[in-house]
Each structure stands twice: as C-alpha cells, then as structure tokens.
Amino acid sequence: MNVKTTLILALSAATMAGAASAQGWPAEWTKPAAPYRIVGNVWFVGTEGIASYLISGSQGHIVIDGGMPEGAPLVEANIRKLGFKVEDVKILLNTHAHIDHAGGLAQLKADTKARLYAAKGDEEGLEKGVHVGDSDYGGAAFPPVKVDRTVKDLQTVKLGEIAITAHITPGHTRGCTTWTLPVVERDRPLNVTFYCSTSVAGNVLFGNRAYPQILADYQASFAKLRAIPTDVFLPNHPEFADLAGKRQRQTRGEPTPFVDPAEMGRFIDASQAAFDREVAKQETRR
C-alpha cells in the first residue's frame, strides 16, 4: 500500500469517526479479527478496523487501547484465543480519548481490574467520556473510565520486564500519546512505536476555545514523531500500516514483514502534508 493510499484511508477513518453519530460506524470497527503475534512479545488483539495490542510479560500483561464500546468482549476473546488469561492484564494504556480507541476501556478495566494509565491532557476526556476541544462534528460520547495514573512525557511504565515509554504527541487530542517499546525478534533488537494520531479529523485549528494551543501542539508533534527511532510502526487503525497485508506475508513464511524502519517517517510526512492543506483551508474561512 503506497503512502497516498494509506493516508486517504487514515483520513477517511478519522472523518468517519466524526460523522458517526449521523451515519453509523464502519462495520469493520466492530468486526472480529483473528489475533496474532507481531514481533517479540507484541500481539494484535483488536478488531478488523481498530487495533488493540497486548504486550505479554512474566509478571502480567499490558493492553493498549480498548476499541469501540462493543469491541471490549472481542479484545478479551482474542486474548483468550492466544492462550493468555484476561485477569492477567494488569495495565491498560490509551493512545487518545476518542470512542474508537477508548470506548471499550471501561469494560476492560472492570473485567480485568487493571490500572489505567493515560496522559494528563486526556484525563478529562476519558473520565467524562467525550472529546475535549472544538470540532466540526462535536465528538461522540463513550463510557467514561477512571484514570488511575497520569503519565508525563518520556515517562516509562514498567511491569516486570516490560518497559514502555510515553511520548506525549498532542493535537489530535490534548493528551494524544504515542508509546514506544524495545523488543527482540530473531536476536535483533527492534524499536516498536504505537502511534497515536496526527490527523485533523474535524478539529478546529483556529480559535479553538476549548483547546487554544491546538495548532502549535500539532506542529510540535510532527517534529517529535520524526525523531522517534521506529523499526515497527503500529498505528491504532490497522489500515494505516496495512497490518492485514503484513500478516498475510507472515503466514506465507516471510520472517519479518512488520519491520520497516522508514515506514513511520513516510506516514508522518504524508500526514503533515494533509495537515498543512487543512490549515490552509481553515485559514481561508477565518
């Protein structure tokens, strides 16, 4: 999948999220998908259209994102299919406080008794179950969930041998968090990046009363993301990185289809180009 096609899909998914209250959600967001190992101790446990990731460890497991509210049982079923116990999930992490990535967290937290870690900027959104900030679409409500611990930029969350680091990359939401994790695959050290988002997705970029620094935050996040060494790019929408295609290559015997040190850079370049076009568009309406 080329960068242009990937970005179109990414922006389409983000726009659909905004328009969901009027048009309904994409069916693939709650369509079951088979779980699988990606690299190291990282596993895909999400749905066909929304990614959730399990990081397995000897002292318990971490899950990143809960998908849609209807997606939580699917995530739990996938964890069990892999042979893990749902009750061994000790920590929940979130990329950002939107219904398609935070909607299932409340149920996952209730079922696992895990602690939820998230950035301070998204604490309000998660605990109220709403998008915080002015947008063209208003945002969609989701089950509110209590944040047990807020994380700061470059703070590392540890669970046994697992050490995953938060990179606060705001703009898409005030607390948008990209997470990085070192793993080893076939004796090769790799840097895995769980990307948050840099799409505009209906956000008001000028005169945003609820989020006045949004434009500067986006611009800073693009630069920050480019500086993160990434061998394996794992976004929260599988199509952003053609995870399904890579999985097919994996099942055909390709040893490391998810490894591409240049992929996130290409994606961020395309995303910033789309962002710049949206800035220009919104500027003409001021």
What is the identity of the amino acid at 203? N
136 φ/ψ angles, rounded to the nearest 5 degrees: -70, -25
130 φ/ψ angles, rounded to the nearest 5 degrees: -145, 160
pLDDT for residue 192: 98
Q: Which alpha helices (H) appear in 67-141, and where do they start and end? A: 72-81, 99-102, 105-112, 123-128
Domains and CATH numbers, the chain: 3-284 (3.60.15.10)
Q: Which residues contact 179 (CB under 8 A, 6 or more apart)?
A: 64, 93, 95, 164, 165, 166, 167, 193, 194
Question: Which pTM value belongs to this model?
Answer: 0.92
Distance separating alpha carbons of residues 259 and 233, to the nearest angstrom: 8
What is the identity of the amino acid at 188? R
pLDDT for residue 25: 86
pLDDT for residue 188: 97
Tens-of-pLDDT digits for all 286 residues of the chain? Answer: 343 434 434 444 444 443 343 347 899 999 999 999 999 999 999 999 999 999 999 999 999 999 999 999 999 999 999 999 999 999 999 999 999 999 999 999 999 999 999 999 999 999 999 999 888 866 689 999 999 999 999 999 999 999 999 999 999 999 999 999 999 999 999 999 999 999 999 999 999 999 999 999 999 999 999 999 999 999 999 999 999 999 999 999 999 999 999 999 999 999 999 999 999 999 998 8
Distance separating alpha carbons of residues 131 and 139, to the nearest angstrom: 5
In contact, 135 and 18? CB cutoff 8 Å:
yes
Q: Which residues contact 8 (CB under 8 A, 6 or more apart)?
A: none
| DSSP β-ladder status, 61-64 and 89-93 | parallel
In contact, 268 and 223? CB cutoff 8 Å:
no
Nearest to 196 by CA among 101, 270, 112, 265: 101
Q: How far is CA 204 from the centre of its chain?
A: 21
In contact, 51 and 234? CB cutoff 8 Å:
yes
Nearest to 198 by CA among 102, 112, 274, 116: 274
Radius of gyration for the alpha carbons in the chain, expressed in angstroms and rounded = 17
Token pair belonging to 103: 């909607």
pLDDT for residue 139: 67
